């Protein structure tokens, strides 16, 4: 006889730390307020918050948290590489790749014969900057649904990057300014450009340098990168400049010659979203699963129960119910439905859509 | 169609007006007839095909997509053409994408044939999302791609070395795909004939007048009229043809057939289009129901009957009287009205006044929801196109205001779907808040983003797209009037509430009480 999952894993109210609480393990996954023991899926600011007493995460995620929060990353940091099985209280815990950003992990928890996978944010496409998503069959799958509507279908990322290179050729006297989130999207776009043959230096806004350096130290080569400061305007002609999305419409961008403003995000699939942000070159490049990936994943893991943490929960629940899966929207507070961080104007804090 | 789709995408995404104009001019210069003309038609008056209506598109997509998912998607994206273009299941196959002329020719030949839906489905299968979007926009006759008809004509005129008014004068005598117009603009043909047609004459517009500025004006030099809360229109009738134009020259006669059909005269008239029930002007919302449709249903014609309230005359028969001073035109208008007795029209009365103070009192006392304020027109002003400074002013009535507390926020639609931009607010009754109204956000993107952040950080509860927030943010809400309403928990309903200012500075406890609102109720 199976007991209900809720008896041992459930959403915690924000006043008690938020995120998902695993009772027999004594920890929270991605808490929104400091707790004694946190397991963190990945480094985006709406999942990894500072101030927890002890933190378990992949070595890469811990490195990202240290880069961002310094000593506030956590009093005790416990790295757990992908695949390692740990016993915590009355559960076992294993981190496996989620394919979202460098170090991103799904948390696989087993307790009294039940297996739960908390996937954090994920995608199924190839990404040259991180390990690919691993399918782990489970009883309960906990999923995001940032792009949980059938209008969201991401085209191949290399095609979108090719459009950027076309624009460079079309406007040799203008700069190409692309809005990218600091963690993940930035490095992925750089790697995609390198794979498409763009060997020239890529210019970076100051908020992007730190994490690019960290990626390189963690074994992701990015090629020549140059800070976009202290250079004459003409130096940017025909060049590619990356900046946090908030900086592309900012005074910061005035240093560039008549920039073609682009943005790399899954939201760029919807015209009004692109127009609203003044984007002339929308690039549909996302680190989140699109509609088909969400449904494929729910099918692939073969779960009997699905919980949806954040995003457009209702559509994914509707489809899962049609597949005979018991589906529930958790409507967790604190996660960003837009996949871009609660503080979209803080260049370092954004989650990558 | 792919090249046309690239033009449409370019017009959508290019932020600058000049950039858009360049894209269009490049299109006119490099795309041959008739494709360039079909695009021009699509971007101006719109193309209309008997068998291809939004309902057909909707039926096609609902045959292929779960209606529940389609509903949520449409709600999120906010535009039918875009939703369908994105959600249409890809069906890679041997179909070659159609050209613009393929589509236009096939639809024209097909008329109302039952084959039309299958033709459209075949094209949608053969196209990618951008092409599907352009196709649907084209055939449903509503481009709205950030390019007004006026700007399109401006780009065209500039490319052909003519003024936009010259193009405007001949425009309504032309038919798509406009081969004779292009021939003239390229110097290969004569100027198309415009005479004798019911063409659009660019209207005269007013400047807003601030209360403080009125003292500088001489009251005896001005005439006053009520400013009606409808839409500005021009009725143009000549050579047995009648047309109804919006302020920007769009032909809106199709949406208001009862106005056009009753025209039995030759004149060009300036007035306000209103929905009127038993002599009373209905709220703007009723007119909005009609404006949203290309053609009204019989029920709408019954429930929201439209008429024109006249305030100026530009042509009396073939006689151009625009150069006459206002007083003389007014006399001609009144004489013409007495003579013709046009059905479905009335005269906007002059409002006699003794001086500015007396007029201000009249304005403040006008509680009719259909009156937005006053128009002041110089007695000696000729009728000139555009917005000359000095002869005409609009002097709007100040709205009523009350300070309310934000209670619930909902995600918006379309371009606002990423933001909490629809707000329900309340006033205090005892120590509880009761909702008194709902309004959309009407400010800059930065303010919207700031409210959005505030909402996310002060959420106490979530229900689907709605967030309940803790009482802490005060809006100054402006509205036209307030009425008793047993349907609302508060017992009152505001008319046209809009958020006037965001009072970041004001503690929620100091917002207004329900009693304040109750005292403003119109008996
Ligand atoms: Zn997230
Ligand atoms: Zn993330």
CA angle B269, B271, B276 (to 5 degrees): 125
Range with the poorest average pLDDT among B74-78, B388-392, B457-461: B457-461
Band of pLDDT at residue A347, cut at 50, 70 and 90: very low
Compute CA distances B373 → A181, A292, B217, B224, B352, whole Å.
49, 55, 17, 10, 14
pLDDT at residue number A122 = 97
Number of domains in chain A: 2
Work out the burial of residue B367: count CB atoms within 10 Å of its CB; fewer than 13 is exposed, 13-18 middle, 19 or more buried: exposed
Same domain, A296 and A316: yes
Same domain, A147 and A163: no
> Containing domain of residue A19, as a range?
9-151+287-343
pLDDT tens column, B9-52? 988 888 778 888 989 999 999 999 999 999 999 998 778 888 88
Range with the poorest average pLDDT among A80-89, B77-86, B268-277, B390-399: B390-399
Q: Is pLDDT at B104 greater than 80 in this prediction?
A: yes
**CA end-to-end span of chain A:** 40
B68–chain A Cβ distance below 8 A for any pair: yes
Q: Nearest by CB to B83, which of A151, A274, A281?
A: A151
pLDDT at residue number B291 = 78
What is the distance between the alpha carbons of residues B108 and B111, in angstroms, rounded to a whole number? 6
pLDDT at residue number A81 = 98
Band of pLDDT at residue B94, cut at 50, 70 and 90: low
Same domain, A218 and A168: yes
Same domain, A266 and A140: no
Spatial CA neighbour of A277 closest among A261, A297, A266? A261
pLDDT at residue number A343 = 32
Chain A neighbors of B146, CB-CB under 8 A? 275
Q: Is pLDDT at B443 greater than 70 in this prediction?
A: no
Report yes or no on A297 lying in a domain: yes
**Cα–ligand 2 centroid distance for A352 (angstroms):** 6
Q: Is pLDDT at B90 greater than 90 in this prediction?
A: no
pLDDT at residue number B498 = 86
Query: With the CA atoms of B178, B181, B187 and B193 taken in that order, what torsion angle do they form, in degrees rounded to the nearest 10?
Result: 140
Residue B396 known to be catalytic: no
Range with the poorest average pLDDT among A111-120, A264-273, B489-498: B489-498
Please tell me which residue of chain A has the smallest CA distance to B462.
A331
pLDDT at residue number A349 = 34
Same domain, A318 and A268: no
Q: Is pLDDT at B139 greater than 60 in this prediction?
A: yes
What is the distance between the alpha carbons of residues A113 and A339, in angstroms, rounded to a whole number? 33
A274–chain B Cβ distance below 8 A for any pair: yes
Question: How far is it between the farthest Cα atoms of chain B?
Answer: 78
pLDDT at residue number A145 = 95
Question: What is the CATH superfamily name and number for domain B400-518?
Answer: Nucleic acid-binding proteins (2.40.50.140)
* Residue owning tokens 């692109």: A274
Chain A neighbors of B129, CB-CB under 8 A? 269
Number of H helices, E strands in chain B: 19, 20
Collapsing DSSP states into helix, strand and coil, what is residue A48?
A: coil
Same domain, A66 and A194: no
Report yes or no on A126 lying in a domain: yes
Same domain, A147 and A32: yes
Q: Where in chain B is the domain with CATH 2.40.50.140?
A: 400-518
β-pairing verdict for B400-411 and B466-469: antiparallel
Question: Given A252, A268, A283, which residue is the final one in a domain?
Answer: A283
pLDDT at residue number A341 = 38
Report yes or no on A272 lying in a domain: yes
Q: Nearest by CB to A275, which of B13, B66, B464?
A: B13
Q: Who's near A353: CB < 8 A, 6+ residues apart?
A: A146, A147, A181, A265, A266, A267, A286, A287, A288, A338, A339, A340
Quote the tokens at residue A188: 């992925």
Q: Is pLDDT at B523 greater than 50 in this prediction?
A: no
Q: Is pLDDT at B228 greater than 80 in this prediction?
A: yes
* Residue owning tokens 């309403």: B485
Band of pLDDT at residue B484, cut at 50, 70 and 90: confident
**Quick one: what percent of chain A has pLDDT higher than 70?**
93
Which residues numbered 233-262 in A keep a CB inside 8 Å of some CB on B?
261
CATH of residue A138: 3.60.15.10
Please tell me which residue of chain B has the smallest CA distance to A267.
B418
Same domain, A124 and A238: no
DSSP A3: P
A226 to chain B, closest Cα gap in Å: 28
CATH of residue A194: 3.40.50.12650
Same domain, A183 and A253: yes
Please tell me which residue of chain B has the smallest CA distance to A250.
B446
Q: How many residues does chain B have?
A: 523
Residues linked to residue B368 through DSSP beta bridges, in sequence order: none
Residues linked to residue B276 through DSSP beta bridges, in sequence order: B281
Question: Given A239, A268, A283, which residue is the final one in a domain?
Answer: A283
Give the fold, CATH level 3, of B207-396.
D-amino Acid Aminotransferase; Chain A, domain 1 (3.30.470)
pLDDT tens column, A134-158? 999 999 999 999 999 999 999 999 9
Same domain, A133 and A169: no
Predicted-complex ipTM score: 0.92
Same domain, A258 and A163: yes
pLDDT tens column, A44-101? 999 999 999 999 999 999 999 999 999 999 999 999 999 999 999 999 999 999 999 9
Q: Nearest by CB to A150, which of B73, B82, B459?
A: B73
Report yes or no on A267 lying in a domain: yes
pLDDT tens column, B450-483? 888 888 888 877 777 788 888 889 998 988 778 7
Q: Which of B227, B294, B299, B506 is catalytic?
A: B227
**Quick one: what percent of chain B has pLDDT higher than 70?**
94
The pTM assigned to this predicted structure is: 0.70
Mutation site, A11, A271, A274, interface B, largest B CB count within 10 A: A271
Quote the tokens at residue B78: 């906010």
H or E element: which one contains A11?
strand A9-11
């Amino acid at each position: 006889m199976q007991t209900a999952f809720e008896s041992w894993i459930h959403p915690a109210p924000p006043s008690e730390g938020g995120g998902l609480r695993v009772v027999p393990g004594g920890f929270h996954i991605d808490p929104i307020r400091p707790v004694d023991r946190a397991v963190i899926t990945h480094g985006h600011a709406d999942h990894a918050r500072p101030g927890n007493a002890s933190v378990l995460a992949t070595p890469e995620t811990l490195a990202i948290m240290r880069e961002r929060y310094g000593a506030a990353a956590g009093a005790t940091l416990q790295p757990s590489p992908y695949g390692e099985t740990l016993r915590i209280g009355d559960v076992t815990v294993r981190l496996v790749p989620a394919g979202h950003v460098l170090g991103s992990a799904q948390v696989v928890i087993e307790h009294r014969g039940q297996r739960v996978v908390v996937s954090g944010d994920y995608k199924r496409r190839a990404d040259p900057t991180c390990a690919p998503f691993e399918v782990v069959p489970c009883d309960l799958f906990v999923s995001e649904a940032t792009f949980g509507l059938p209008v969201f279908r991401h085209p191949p990322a290399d095609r979108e990057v090719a459009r950027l290179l076309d624009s460079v050729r079309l406007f040799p006297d203008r700069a190409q300014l692309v809005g990218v989130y600091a963690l993940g999207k930035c490095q992925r776009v750089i790697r995609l450009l390198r794979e498409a043959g763009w060997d020239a230096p890529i210019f970076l806004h100051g908020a992007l340098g730190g994490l690019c350096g960290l990626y390189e130290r963690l074994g992701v080569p990015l090629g020549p990168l140059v800070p976009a400061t202290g250079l004459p305007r003409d130096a940017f002609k025909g060049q590619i400049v990356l900046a946090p999305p908030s900086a592309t419409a900012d005074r910061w961008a005035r240093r560039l010659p008549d920039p073609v403003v682009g943005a790399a995000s899954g939201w760029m699939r919807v015209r009004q979203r692109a127009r609203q942000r003044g984007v002339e070159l929308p690039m549909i490049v996302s680190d989140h699963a699109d509609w088909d990936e969400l449904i494929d994943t729910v099918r692939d893991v073969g779960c009997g129960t699905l919980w949806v943490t954040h995003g457009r929960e209702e559509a994914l629940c509707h489809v899962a119910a049609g597949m005979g899966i018991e589906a529930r929207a958790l409507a967790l507070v604190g996660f960003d439905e837009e996949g871009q961080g609660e503080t979209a104007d803080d260049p370092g804090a954004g989650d990558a859509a | 169609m792919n090249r046309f789709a690239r033009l449409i995408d370019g017009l959508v995404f290019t932020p600058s007006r000049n950039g858009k104009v360049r894209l269009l001019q490049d299109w006119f210069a490099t795309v041959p007839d008739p494709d360039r003309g079909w695009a021009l038609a699509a971007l101006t008056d719109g193309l209309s095909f008997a068998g291809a209506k939004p309902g057909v598109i909707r039926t096609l997509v609902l045959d292929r997509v779960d209606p529940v998912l389609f509903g949520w998607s449409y709600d999120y994206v906010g535009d039918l053409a875009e939703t369908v273009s994105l959600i249409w299941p890809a069906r890679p196959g041997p179909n070659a994408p159609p050209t613009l002329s393929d589509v236009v020719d096939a639809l024209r030949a097909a008329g109302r044939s039952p084959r039309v839906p299958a033709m459209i489905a075949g094209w949608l299968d053969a196209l990618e999302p951008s092409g599907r979007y352009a196709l649907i926009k084209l055939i449903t006759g509503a481009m709205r791609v950030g390019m007004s008809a006026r700007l399109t004509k401006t780009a065209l005129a500039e490319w052909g070395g003519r003024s936009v008014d010259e193009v405007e004068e001949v425009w309504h005598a032309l038919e798509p795909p406009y081969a004779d117009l292009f021939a003239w603009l390229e110097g290969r043909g004569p100027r198309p004939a415009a005479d004798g047609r019911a063409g659009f004459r660019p209207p005269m517009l007013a400047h807003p007048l601030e209360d403080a500025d009125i003292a500088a004006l001489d009251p005896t030099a001005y005439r006053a009229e009520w400013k009606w809360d409808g839409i500005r229109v021009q009725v143009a009738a000549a050579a047995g043809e009648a047309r109804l134009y919006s302020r920007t020259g769009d032909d809106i006669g199709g949406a208001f057939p009862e106005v056009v059909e009753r025209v039995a005269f030759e004149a060009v008239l300036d007035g306000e289009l209103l929905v009127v029930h038993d002599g009373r002007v209905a709220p703007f919302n009723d007119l909005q129901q009609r404006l949203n449709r290309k053609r009204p249903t019989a029920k709408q014609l019954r429930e929201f009957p439209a008429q024109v309230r006249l305030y100026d005359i530009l042509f009396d028969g073939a006689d151009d009287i625009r150069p006459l001073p206002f007083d003389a035109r007014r006399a001609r208008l009144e004489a013409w009205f007495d003579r013709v007795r046009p059905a479905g029209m009335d005269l906007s009365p002059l409002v006699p006044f003794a001086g500015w103070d007396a007029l201000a009192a009249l304005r403040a006392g006008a509680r009719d929801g259909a009156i937005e304020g006053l128009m002041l027109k110089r007695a000696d002003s000729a009728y000139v196109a555009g917005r000359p400074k000095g002869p005409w002013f609009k002097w709007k009535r100040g709205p009523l205001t009350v300070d309310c507390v934000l209670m619930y926020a909902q995600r918006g639609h379309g371009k606002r779907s990423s933001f909490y931009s629809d707000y329900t607010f309340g006033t205090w009754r005892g120590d509880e808040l009761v909702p008194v109204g709902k309004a959309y956000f009407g400010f800059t993107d930065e303010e919207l983003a700031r409210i959005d952040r505030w909402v996310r950080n002060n959420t106490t509860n979530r229900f689907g797209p709605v967030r309940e927030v803790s009482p802490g943010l005060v809006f100054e809400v402006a509205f036209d009037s307030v009425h008793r309403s047993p349907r609302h928990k508060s017992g009152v309903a505001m008319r046209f509430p809009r958020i006037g200012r965001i009072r970041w500075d004001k503690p929620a406890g100091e917002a207004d009480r329900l009693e304040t609102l109750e005292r403003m109720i119109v008996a």
